């Protein structure tokens, strides 16, 4: 696979949690800036209400066949709104707990739509600039 070089001095890395309804229209978009990554897993991230939301709504608001959550990984240069996409995953992203705590309750959306038969509207009332910090802890277990 070949991809253009992305200068991390100019671009910031984002994972965007997106939820699509049964009508294949996006219902929620939450960009999470990946500030620190360890072993491929985000260890420090922050929600960002920025240009990425309008860009993604304009370009992939309707996606035939897409239902449920996806996570879009991309790089974003704010000074000129340049976006370099790298992958789309059909699953909850590893940093989704941050989006959940910010108010993007995708499990609730799944239940409302699929079990209760409700029609979902677009939701954008999640909390901006909410930060998540992950850490490792040691647990020592003494023998009996």
Does some domain include residue 140?
no
Tens digits of residue pLDDT in 97-108: 999 999 999 999
- pLDDT, residue 3, reads 76
Does some domain include residue 68?
yes
Does some domain include residue 67?
yes
Does some domain include residue 19?
yes
pLDDT at 4 over 90: no
pLDDT at 1 over 80: no
Structural domain tally of the chain?
1
The DSSP string of the chain is -------TTT-EEEEEEEEE-TTSBEEEEEEEEEEEEETTEEEEEEE--SHHHHHHHHHHSB-TT--EEEEEEEEEETTTTEEEEEEEESS--TTHHHHHHHT--HHHHHHHHHTS-PPPPP---PPTT-EEE-----------
The residue range of the domain holding 49 is: 12-133
Tens digits of residue pLDDT in 32-88: 999 998 888 888 999 999 999 999 999 999 999 999 999 999 999 999 999 999 999
By the 8 A CB rule, do 17 and 93 touch?
yes
Task: List the CATH number of the domain containing 123.
Answer: 3.30.470.20
Does some domain include residue 1?
no
Does some domain include residue 79?
yes
Does some domain include residue 142?
no
Does some domain include residue 85?
yes
């Amino acid at each position: 696979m070949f991809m253009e070089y992305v200068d991390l001095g100019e671009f910031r890395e984002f994972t965007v949690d997106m939820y699509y309804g049964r009508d294949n229209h996006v219902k929620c978009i939450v960009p999470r800036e990946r500030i620190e990554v360890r072993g491929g897993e985000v260890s420090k991230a922050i929600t960002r209400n920025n240009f990425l939301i309008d860009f993604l709504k304009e370009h992939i608001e309707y996606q035939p066949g897409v239902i449920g959550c996806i996570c879009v990984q991309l790089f974003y240069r704010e000074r000129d709104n340049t976006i370099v996409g790298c992958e789309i995953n059909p699953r909850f992203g590893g940093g989704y707990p941050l989006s959940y705590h910010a108010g993007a309750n995708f499990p609730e959306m799944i239940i409302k739509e699929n079990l209760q038969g409700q029609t979902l509207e677009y939701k954008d009332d999640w909390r901006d600039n909410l930060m998540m910090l992950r850490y490792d802890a040691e647990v020592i277990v003494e023998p009996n």
